Structure 1
C-alpha cells in the first residue's frame, strides 16, 4: 500500500510541461498515489516515479497531437495518457475508453474533481464494442496496452480518414513496427514513423509510434469485420484483465 507521502517532489520539468495546469496535475498525481493504488489500478512501486515515468511521459505526447481534434484514448486504465494530455491540451476533445468498471469509476471521479467534464468523456467498453456507436476520431492514443499489431487492430478502426494512431512505446518500438508492417497495411495505414517527444522535459524522451491511415475506409471495414467475427466466436476483447 502507498499514499501521497511517497510521492517525490514535483520536478522542475513539470512546471514547464503543465504550465497553468500544474495544480491539477499535482492533484491527479495525488489521486494516483492514493486512490488508484488502493483500488489496485496502479502498483505501489510506481508511486516514486509517477512524475517522470507516467505524468510527464504522457503529457509530452501533446507535442505531436494536431490542434483542436477529437482523441480516443484506448485502454485508458487509470487515465494515462488521456488525463495528462487533457491537462496540457485544453483544445482537444478526449474520450477515455476503458472496459473495466472500477477503472471507469475512477476516471469519472478524476474528470469531475479536475473540472474536465466539458472536455473529457469516459466510456466503458472495448474498442471493438464501440465501433459504429463512437464517432470516428482524428487521433487514437494508447500506452502499455498491447503489442503494436494487436493494438492497431483495436485502435485503427476508430479513426476517421487521414486519422492517426499515436502509441507510446519503449525500446521495442522499432522491432514492433517492423513486425507489424503487413498488418498495418491491411488496416489501411499509409504512413508510419517513430517520433521522439519531450526531449527537453523527460530523460529519455518518450517514444511514439505514429501510424496514419489514408482516405480509403477499406482497412477500417476489414478490421470491423474481424472484430465482429471475434465477438461471435467468443474471442473478443483486449486481452487485459484489470
Structure 2
C-alpha cells in the first residue's frame, strides 16, 4: 500500500488526514526504520508494508468511530500499534500505553516527543500488576497480538470501565480463539458487540456489562497455566 493508497483508503472511511498528520505518519515510519536497525521492533519494515500492515490495520478500529476525548489504553503496544496511528488521527484522545519491555518504551517515548503528541502516558509494567488506582478507569482498552483471547481478556478487562469497550485485534485464528474464550467472556461479564473481519485481521469489540470480580486478574503464571 503506497502512501497515496493509504490516504485514499482512509478517505473512503471518512478519515481525512491533514498535511501535518501525513507528515507525522511519515516521521513515525522513519523512526521505526531507524530504531529497527538496532532493536528489532518489527519484521515488517518495508515502507509500503508498514503503511498497510501496521498503519492501516491499526486504523481499522477507527472506522465509523471517534476516539477524541476518550480515555484509551493500549496494552502490549510493542512498536506502537495501534496506539500511535490512532493518536495521530485523534489528537484529543487521552492515551495510555502499557508494555513490559523498557527498550520498546524508550522508542515510544522518542516517537511521542518527535511527533509532538500530547496527552500520552507511557508506563513500563505488566498490566496485571498495575496499581489498583487504574482499575476500571478506561473508556476503551485495546490489544493487538499480545496473547490468546482467553488470557488477554483476564489481563485487560479489570482496567476497563463498566460500559467500556475492549477491542481485541486478532489474526487468522481469531474465531478459534473466540470459541476458546467463551468461559472467560461469561466470568468477566462481557458481551461481544461487534466482529469486524478484514483480510489480515479480525477485530472483536466486547462491552463490559458489570464490574470485574475482585479476584481477577490473577498472577500471570496462573493465568497462563490455567486460563479461564
* Common topology (TM > 0.5): yes
**1:62 is the counterpart of 2:57:** no
Normalized against structure 2, the TM-score is what?
0.84
Aligned position for 2:17: 19
Equivalent residues in 2 for 1:41-190, closer than 5 Å: 41-43=41-43, 45-48=44-47, 49-63=49-63, 64=65, 66-116=67-117, 118-134=118-134, 136-190=137-191
- Cα shift at 1:196: 3.9
Name the stretch that deviates more: 70-79 or 57-66. 57-66
1:183-204 superposed Cα distances (whole Å, 9 cap, x missing partner): 111112134431247xxxxxx3
Tell me which of 206, 211, 229 is aligned to 2:206: 211
User: RMSD of aligned C-alpha atoms?
Assistant: 2.4
1:108 touches 1:122 (CA, 8 Å); kept in 2? yes
Distance in structure 2 (CA, Å) of the matches to 1:205 and 1:91: 28
**Residue aligned with 2:133, SS:** coil
Normalized against structure 1, the TM-score is what?
0.80
2:67 touches 2:90 (CA, 8 Å); kept in 1? no
Where relative contact order (Cα < 8 A, 6+ residues apart) is larger, the structure is 1
1:75-127 superposed Cα distances (whole Å, 9 cap, x missing partner): 011111100010111231111111111011111110000001x2211111011
**Equivalenced residues, count:** 215
Unaligned runs of 5+ in 2: none
